[in-house]
Amino acid sequence: PETLFLSINLIDRFLSKRQVSLVKLQLVGLAATLLAAKYEEVTTPCVSNFTYLADNAYDEQELLKAERYMLHVLNFSLAYPNPLLHLRRIS
């Protein structure tokens, strides 16, 4: 669940800073999910899995370029106050 929550947070923060055409919205979601998986998961799925999820609408280089652009727009700030983090510390 942490990966999903972080992915949604990244999408939300990115879309609050940049306007995206409807055609590229899926690419934003893929890039955010790839970043969240790299940040949260122990083993990261490969980029080809993400392009497969998009039915090969984007190639690997385009996805990696979108990932770099999202990191640049977010100033490399991926962490956010996660409620699950606080619950773990309390318990």
- Enumerate the H helices of 20-82 as residue ranges: 25-40, 47-53, 60-73
Residues 6+ apart with CB under 8 A from 23: none
What is the reported pTM?
A: 0.86
Report helix, strand or coil for 38: helix
What are the pLDDT tens digits along the chain (91 aa)? 888 989 999 999 999 999 999 999 999 999 999 999 998 888 988 999 999 988 989 999 999 999 999 999 999 988 777 777 677 777 7
